[in-house]
Structure 1
Amino acid sequence: MSQDMLLQAQDIGVHAGAQTLLRELSFSLRAGEVLTILGESGAGKSLLADALMGNLAPGLTATGEVSVRGTRSAASDTRARRALWGHQIGLLPQEPTLALNAVRRVGPQLEEVLRLVRKLPPGEAAGQCATRLSEAGLDAAAAQYPWQLSGGMAQRVVATMALAGGASLLIADEPTKGLDTHWRDHVTDMLRRVAAAGGAVLLITHDLRVAGALGGRMMVLRGGELIESGTTADVLAAPREAYTRELIAADPAHWPVRAAPVTGMPVLRARGLAKRFGERRLFAGLNLDLHAGERLVVQGPSGTGKSTLGNVLLGLLKADAGEVIRAPGLAATALQKLYQDPVASFAPSRSLLGSLQDAARLHGEAWSAVEARLAGLKLDACLLARRPHQVSGGELQRIALARVLCARPALLFADEPTSRLDPISQRQALQLLGDAMDETGAALLLVTHDEDIARVFGQRLQRFTGEGITT
């Protein structure tokens, strides 16, 4: 075997009993190469990553053979590949909150990687920890717990940890979701440096800008099968398959601008709101009105208080000053949130069907209406028998959208609701969300880093900066 061959995957398949979820895939990665896996949510991209890592969920089995730097093992031999974690093969997982220990501060977790995987002495590990977090714009994060971080900050913490072990083969599963343009480009450059230093990157992404920037080769999956492959430049410029053309054409940059809604009376008023975290002021003296039917988009860098504002408006966090005034007569459940990390909003041991049925029963929603919503989101009913961790992040986010609409909210706070979705699913989900808001006259507070989504979907824009907010 060539010295520069870092990964060989031979006939990799994933099965749930008699059902095949991922059909046999074969490919290789040499030093300096980037291979991008593209496809809509549920296509099998994350299943492939988990099979290569030896980290499939219970009930799933892998077939085929994996070779990492010449160390061969059956795809089903999870123990053999787990011995390579960190120092030979690294994973930047799709759900950063699940990769971090919620009861330990960020700094000690990164130091542990540097001590146990890189074998650095404690003093050097502490110094490198500070340096790496600073490079990622996370100087204050060392003393924080994961639950104190924004979604984008958590994503950058996990990216820093994944690279800290020094693995030459890195699997990056949606590494830039939920990041603003600056930090998306920062992570893209981190991945580029891995390949330039003689490593290899297997990239799973919905972001065509990241795929194009990294170049290399591309494989397009649909329904667990390979439908097209080639150089990234060729596939993006001249896709052969109709599905690939549809996927590329569905990028938000190509969407038509959604018509402005008819707005009504105020649903919520905020007066003089202020909030700090430690010594940092997120906002102060904030006045805001949200009217029925209105679509307000909030944008700004990660960690500047966008999610915090939404949580204060919903009553999930208490403001340091000011007040939030709801319209009279609103039900206690009239203000709802669609979470950025959907897995944290579902009961882990309950089936998705059970969670949806609970929501429908609680809010008096006909089950036929829920089924119609799921069909509109192109979700297979067989997914509902699974638990939250057994479906893709994009599938779970669409199920979360179907569930929250059962409450018929007067105000929906949607926190990066499409960051886990491929362009086709993004378009379907936002179409359903916009139609539901127009039909019910609900107000929408949408947090997104995607400038194109903000442009085509929003009616009013509020920007957060590191120094507060601008309108």
Structure 2
Amino acid sequence: MSLVVENLRITGPEGLLVHGVSFTLLPGEPLVLLGETGSGKSLLAQAVMGNLPPGLHAGGRVVLDGQDILPLPPRDRRALWGRRIAMLPQEPWAALDPTMRAAAQVEEVDRLVHRRSAHDARQHTAARLARLGLDGAGRRYPFQLSGGMNQRVALAATEAAGAGLLIADEPTKGLDAELRDTAGALLRAEAEAGRLLLVITHDVALARLLGGQAMVMLSGQVVEAGHLPVLLDAPRHGYTRRLVAAEPARWQAWPHRQPGRTVVKGRNLRKSLGGRELLGGLDLEVAEGEVVAVSGRSGCGKTTLGNLLLGLARTDWGSVKRGTWVAPLGMQKLYQDPLAAFAPHQALGQGLADLRQRHGLAADAVRHLLPRLRLNQALLVRRPSEVSGGELQRFGLLRALLLNPAMLFADEATSRLDPLTQQDVMMLLGECVQERNMALLVVTHEAALAEKVASRVISLRTAAA
């Protein structure tokens, strides 16, 4: 089996988006596409898959096993999905049915694609979920699982398809280091078993683990290509060097200031979910000007803890008290998935205008914050899906800052961003702490990030599933 891509170009209303990319993919050697958000990596994969967004068009050749599949009509391209080509999409919610339990979604792949019996499908599914650290999660619905757990369920379903060509778009975002390594080993095993593997990622550690070939993309062009890990150990292009240098382990540690008044205090916090104890009597206090990080494996209760402190969830036992001086809207949240935090069909500017009007904010409040957050005013007319992930996360920060919060809960706020954009957003958060004396509660699965930014790190130890 082979995939040969020749001079693949993608055009849209704004012109050429991907510039003449060529590569050959053979069994046993993964191809990793590296680059920042908006560099064209996902568009390239969508063109190969045959599911480009409306208004975009691909030219060139995409030859799968000797057949150019690019000119095929949509119906014939879709007939390849799940049988010859399988894709793990970037957002797990796009791959999962919210009305089905996790195990059932993996089982149906075995039953419908491979015609296995219900008993065999259950056995195969149980083994896949166990291998990804999801024992016990199969009975739950997607809304009962963390973002990282949903990512692993989607990975299990994609792997179950057994297609000859496997495309994985950001397969490890939202996963801690241990689970990233597990998922990476599973993907590498797929290549070693003879499948074609194309992986899109901004995770440099995953790229090192997978090995094989790599292409670095910037603004729709391949700026560097070569073998892994040589390409990362001795990058030639300036952009590749910046990408490697932006890993959190290489950051300068943030300065820490003397904590001020207590913003929120939790005592003897206990919480169970799905019959599993997440928090077993935790004490936590966060003060003005303080950065506190909560780290731990995917699904260990990090987000739950933050939601308890913000009043977005109730404790089973214990108490949460805010400082008496904290305003009703003085606790704000920056979400893990920025796209899910905005109304999809509303222009960003209109949403901010509605917020300003609802809370009686100054008419020029948005205009003053835009340059501070390095956002172009022209983006206000766009909808959330029409800006990059990094831009949208900065709009989320802008929206929170308009309410002048005493504490901001950043819930894995950079786990879906490339290293350069992640570094940019975290620097903005650090500047907000310094300038506004704001408390910052950072939830992260990245130990290096937690150590670099926080004055205190709280590690949760609950098992991932």
Q: Please say if residues 270 and 317 of structure 2, whose CA atoms lie closer than 8 Å, have aligned partners that are also in contact.
A: yes
The structural deviation recorded for 1:57 is: 2.4
Q: Please say if residues 170 and 199 of structure 2, whose CA atoms lie closer than 8 Å, have aligned partners that are also in contact.
A: yes
Deviates more, 1:68-77 or 1:429-438: 68-77
The structural deviation recorded for 1:391 is: 4.2
Deviations 1:302-325 (A, max 9, x none): 111111111111111111112211
Q: Please say if residues 65 and 74 of structure 1, whose CA atoms lie closer than 8 Å, have aligned partners that are also in contact.
A: yes
- Whole-Å separation in 2 of the counterparts to 1:75 and 1:373: 46
Give the equivalent residue in structure 1 for 2:228. 232
Q: For residue 156 of structure 2, what is the amino acid of its counterpart?
A: T
Deviations 1:355-377 (A, max 9, x none): 344445545262222321442xx
Give the equivalent residue in structure 1 for 2:298. 302
- Whole-Å separation in 2 of the counterparts to 1:151 and 1:228: 32
- Whole-Å separation in 1 of the counterparts to 2:337 and 2:428: 20
Give the equivalent residue in structure 2 for 1:371. 370
The structural deviation recorded for 1:383 is: 5.0
Deviates more, 1:344-353 or 1:161-170: 344-353
- Whole-Å separation in 2 of the counterparts to 1:361 and 1:431: 29
Q: Please say if residues 46 and 392 of structure 1, whose CA atoms lie closer than 8 Å, have aligned partners that are also in contact.
A: no
Q: For residue 28 of structure 2, what is the amino acid of its counterpart?
A: G
The structural deviation recorded for 1:215 is: 1.2
Structure 2 gaps of 5+ residues are none
Structure 1 291/190 Cα, relative in aligned 2: closer, same or farther at 3 Å? same
The structural deviation recorded for 1:261 is: 2.4
- Whole-Å separation in 2 of the counterparts to 1:266 and 1:152: 31
Give the equivalent residue in structure 2 for 1:342. 338
Give the equivalent residue in structure 1 for 2:111. 115
The structural deviation recorded for 1:465 is: 0.5
- Whole-Å separation in 2 of the counterparts to 1:45 and 1:219: 10
Are 2:392 and 1:396 equivalent residues in the alignment? yes
Q: Percent identity?
A: 46
- Whole-Å separation in 1 of the counterparts to 2:262 and 2:159: 48
Q: After superposition, where does 1:243-262 map in structure 2 within 5 Å?
A: 243-262=239-258
Are 2:427 and 1:428 equivalent residues in the alignment? no
SS in 2 for 1:407: coil
Q: Please say if residues 87 and 118 of structure 1, whose CA atoms lie closer than 8 Å, have aligned partners that are also in contact.
A: no
Deviates more, 1:255-264 or 1:189-198: 255-264
Give the equivalent residue in structure 2 for 1:284. 280
- Whole-Å separation in 1 of the counterparts to 2:193 and 2:255: 48
Give the equivalent residue in structure 2 for 1:269. 265
Q: For residue 145 of structure 1, what is the amino acid of its counterpart?
A: Y
> Given the two structures, how large is their TM-score scaled by the length of structure 2?
0.94
Q: For residue 138 of structure 2, what is the amino acid of its counterpart?
A: A
Deviates more, 1:324-333 or 1:306-315: 324-333
Deviations 1:400-457 (A, max 9, x none): 2333333222111111111122221111111101101221111111111112111111
Structure 1 152/359 Cα, relative in aligned 2: closer, same or farther at 3 Å? same
Deviations 1:54-75 (A, max 9, x none): 2222333333332223332226
Give the equivalent residue in structure 1 for 2:50. 54
- Whole-Å separation in 1 of the counterparts to 2:376 and 2:10: 18
Give the equivalent residue in structure 2 for 1:191. 187
> Given the two structures, how large is their TM-score scaled by the length of structure 1?
0.92
For this pair of structures, how many residues does the alignment match?
A: 461
Which of these residues, 69, 90, 101, is aligned with residue 105 of structure 1?
101
The structural deviation recorded for 1:157 is: 0.7
Structure 1 gaps of 5+ residues are none
Are 2:437 and 1:441 equivalent residues in the alignment? yes
Which of these residues, 72, 88, 100, is aligned with residue 68 of structure 2?
72
- Whole-Å separation in 1 of the counterparts to 2:463 and 2:56: 48
Deviates more, 1:64-73 or 1:297-306: 64-73
Q: For residue 57 of structure 1, what is the amino acid of its counterpart?
A: P
- Whole-Å separation in 2 of the counterparts to 1:186 and 1:457: 27
Structure 1 385/117 Cα, relative in aligned 2: closer, same or farther at 3 Å? farther
Deviates more, 1:52-61 or 1:341-350: 52-61
Deviations 1:245-302 (A, max 9, x none): 1111222121111101232000011122111113211112222111011111001111
Give the equivalent residue in structure 1 for 2:238. 242
Q: Please say if residues 297 and 463 of structure 2, whose CA atoms lie closer than 8 Å, have aligned partners that are also in contact.
A: no
Are 2:309 and 1:313 equivalent residues in the alignment? yes
Q: For residue 439 of structure 1, what is the amino acid of its counterpart?
A: E
The structural deviation recorded for 1:117 is: 1.6
Q: Please say if residues 99 and 158 of structure 1, whose CA atoms lie closer than 8 Å, have aligned partners that are also in contact.
A: yes
Structure 1 326/144 Cα, relative in aligned 2: closer, same or farther at 3 Å? same
RMSD: 2.0
Q: For residue 319 of structure 2, what is the amino acid of its counterpart?
A: E
SS in 1 for 2:32: strand
- Whole-Å separation in 2 of the counterparts to 1:204 and 1:401: 27
Deviations 1:201-243 (A, max 9, x none): 1111111111112111111111111211111223212222111
Q: For residue 53 of structure 2, what is the amino acid of its counterpart?
A: A
- Whole-Å separation in 2 of the counterparts to 1:301 and 1:242: 33
- Whole-Å separation in 1 of the counterparts to 2:355 and 2:11: 31
Structure 1 436/218 Cα, relative in aligned 2: closer, same or farther at 3 Å? same
Deviations 1:307-347 (A, max 9, x none): 11111111111111122111114222211111112222111
